[in-house]
Amino acid sequence: MITELKENQIFVFGSNANGSHWWWAAYQAKKQFGAVDWVAEWLTGQCYAFPTLDEMYDKYSLEDIKKHFFMLFECAVENRDKEFLVTKLWCWIAGYTEEEIISCIPEKVPINIILPEWR
């Protein structure tokens, strides 16, 4: 559980395609770390919105999740001075298993991406 950030750290949370940050880690991102509603993907406040749900709040396909990981990695490469702390994006609302999400992560993870601890 991430409760505070250093100046150079980015809180990566599960979002939806509408950018409405009303539940779980998204709500924490908004209230505690400055994420702005209606930003569905990319940097917002001291956060990175990672969409796992579509506009109708249905979960994205695993193929879509892979694409979103590539976007996150692109952002991390563009912001090498930042450390991206990834929350458990698959939990609760998205409804994926840890194994399913692990299968979506590209092979080469930028050094400034900190993935959550796996079981």
CATH 3.40.220.10 corresponds to the domain 9-114: yes
Confidence (pTM): 0.91
More confident residue, 118 or 6: 6
- Report the pLDDT value the prediction gives residue 9, as an integer from 0 to 100: 98
43-60, pLDDT tens digit by residue? 999 999 999 989 998 999
Q: Give start and end residues of each alpha helix (H) in 2-97.
A: 24-33, 62-78
Q: Where are the domains of the chain?
A: 9-114
Pair type for strands 83-86 and 9-16: parallel
57-115, pLDDT tens digit by residue? 899 999 999 999 999 999 999 999 999 999 887 666 677 888 898 999 999 999 999 99
- Report the pLDDT value the prediction gives residue 39, as an integer from 0 to 100: 93
> What is each CA distance from 107 to 43, 88, 91, 111, in whole angstroms?
23, 18, 22, 12
Buried b (16+ CB within 10 A) or exposed e, 62-83: eeebeebbeebbebbeebeebb
* Bridge partner list, 44: 47
